[in-house]
Each structure stands twice: as structure tokens, then as C-alpha cells.
Amino acid sequence: MFYSNRKVLVTGGASFIGSHLVDQLLAQGARVRVVDDLSSGVLKNLEQCMDAIEFIQGDLRDYSVANDTVAGQDIVFHLANIHGGRGFIDTHPGEIVQNFAIDGNVFRAAEENGVDRVCFTSSACSYPVNLQTMETADDMMHLSEEMADPFIPGAALADGEYGWAKLMGEMALKGYHKQFGTKGVSCRLFTVYGPRENESHAVIALIAKAIIKQDPYEIWGTGNQSRNFTYVSDIVEGILLSAEKITDCRAVNVGTDAAITLKDAARTILDITGHQPEEIFYDTSKPEGVSVRTASIENQKKWLDWSPKVSFAEGIGKTIDWYTKSVDREALVEHFEMLLFERSAG
């Protein structure tokens, strides 16, 4: 009942995760406004609920857009971000750093308009990369919240411009809390997948390659890099609980602790789609990110009394089902290489 009748702004609400969050907020009785510039989000993601929300197209790099859309809201879920999968974030650093402006505008507007609370979608990329190599992280290494902190010597070496912007976003939100008492939380999301995600992210890219029957079937990197892929409905549940239960602007992991290698994820996808390539090609010239990444879920359990429920086997089945039904195969083939590196087909 926490969200019932509350006025809630979702920045970036036309995105993959944002649109699922909007669906859940509506189901819980919230009055939802979305602001999005549609640079990677698409209105199709909101078509099922467009009549029930207020949608504003605007660019949050402009402070007046942030101020106008935050005004009058009780809660702000801040997801708007210049972001994509590994292919995008490693090749667009000059665009990614514009996230400093977006986050700064949204947090300032939230404080100046006296909103009740702010929930910032941070990322596992805020964790130091030196903790996520095969040499430093054994199989039991789970990233715990205190391991990424700009005020602790040695605890800040975020993953590229994207990770640094997230870590600095967390720090900015905490700064508002320290000085002005702003209430909120930063959710460090771990490798989300599910319906409505785009091909610049590993899981959807691997499904797309199976659908077009790519052979040799390409996996970026050695295939031994591991991730704790977390299904989008779990992510949304974790975000909603975090905003309800945490107000001191600390960071909390939202994700599973079940690690799986890219190689194994691809094997599951090939089995389900029935694609049997003659060769699998591990393309180590392509961006692959850190080698080992998984969340500690101890604080998530303690602070939220919650942990994710959807197994990879279940989530990947639903994702493949959605992708197979919704993909435009002709457009996929035509734009395939571009889709792996860009955050939208536009």
C-alpha cells in the first residue's frame, strides 16, 4: 500500500526497466508521471499503460525540464541515463559523462521541490574493477556495499566513465542527504535482463544471434566471464522495496548471487532456441567487461527482508519467448552490427 495514491515521477520511464517499474507502480495504485527524451527508451514500452500515466518528452540535461517534471511529485525514481550494454558504454565515453549533468539536475530539483524521497538506479559498475578480475576474485567473491565508497582509500575504482558517473551520482545523493536531509536510496542493479531490453546487452544479443542462426556463433570475450543475471521483475520488486524501506541515501545491491558464465548462458539460449551452430567463435577483440561479477545479497536480505525469486532457467525462457514473438527479423538482420553497439535503432 506504500505507493497507493502517491504522485510518482519515473525519469527514463520509457526504458526497459523503467517501463516495467511503471507497470508495477500503476498496479500498486500510484499516480505516475514519466519524463523521457526517448533517446533509447521507446513509447512502445508504455503502450499498455499510456492512458493511465502522464508522459512528458524532455531532456533532463536541461535543468528547467528536471524542475518542471519533479515539481509536485512525492517520490522520484531516477532511471534516466545515457546507457547501453558493454558495446555502447565502452565506445561512447563523451556521451556517458553527460550523466553527471542529468543526475545533478534531478537531485537538485528533488531537493528544491521538497519531494519525499528519491530512488537512484545505480549499478554494479560502481564497484572497483580491481576486485573483479580472475586473479583477485575467487568464485566465492561477492561484492558487498561497503566495497565501493569514494571516501574509503582503495574503494573507488569504478568501471569506466559509466561506473564513475553512477558512483558520483550516489555520492551526490548522499551529499544532499548530509546537508539538506533529502531522503532516498541508491540501488546498485546487477546485470538485468528480460522483455523490452535491447540488443546492446549480452543476453538479448546472444538470443538475437541464435534467432538469425549466426554461424560461427559469436560470444564476446573468452566466454568465461561470469555475471549474476537478474530478471527484470525481481529488479523492480527490489527497487520498490528499497525506496520504501531505506531513506538515508545509502547504496544497496539489487540482484541475485547466482553467477553464470557467458558460455553457459549462451549454451542455455542455444538449447532453448534450437540453434545448433557448427562453430562457436570467442571474439576477444570485442568488449567483454570485468571477468567476475556477482552481488553479495546479505544486506539486501537484512535491509529489505527480500531476495530475488526468478531462476535463470525461468527468466531466460520468458525472455526468449518475448523476443521471438516481438522481433522484426528483417530489421534485425539489416541493423544487426549497429544494434550491438548503439542504444537504439534510431
CA distance 264 to 261: 5
Cα 135 vs. chain centroid, distance in angstroms?
Answer: 27
Phi, psi angles (nearest 5°) of residue 122: -85, -160
CA distance 40 to 81: 9
Spatial CB neighbours of 205, under 8 Å, sequence gap ≥ 6: 85, 87, 199, 220, 339, 340
CB-nearer residue toward ligand NAD: 37 or 257: 37
Nearest distance in Å: CB 103, ligand NAD: 9
Closest CB 36 distance from ligand NAD, rounded Å:
5
Residues in the chain: 346
DSSP class of residue 129 equals G
In the complex, the residues that contact ligand NAD under the rule CB under 6 A are 12, 14-18, 36-41, 59-61, 79-83, 102, 121, 123, 189, 191-192, 343
Half-sphere exposure of 148 (CA within 13 A, CB side): 36
Q: How far is the CB of 192 from ligand NAD (least distance, A)?
A: 4
Nearer to ligand NAD, 95 or 215 (CB): 95
Whole-number minimum distance, CB 5 to ligand NAD, in Å?
Answer: 25
Strands (E), 163-268: 184-189, 192-193, 217-220, 226-227, 230-231, 248-254, 260-261
CB nearer to ligand NAD: pick between 66 and 219: 66
Q: In this chain, which residue has its C-beta nearest to ligand NAD?
A: 41
C-beta of 35: minimal distance to ligand NAD in Å? 6
The residue (of 138 and 255) whose beta carbon lies closer to ligand NAD is: 255
When the beta carbons of 76 and 102 are compared against ligand NAD, the nearer one is 102
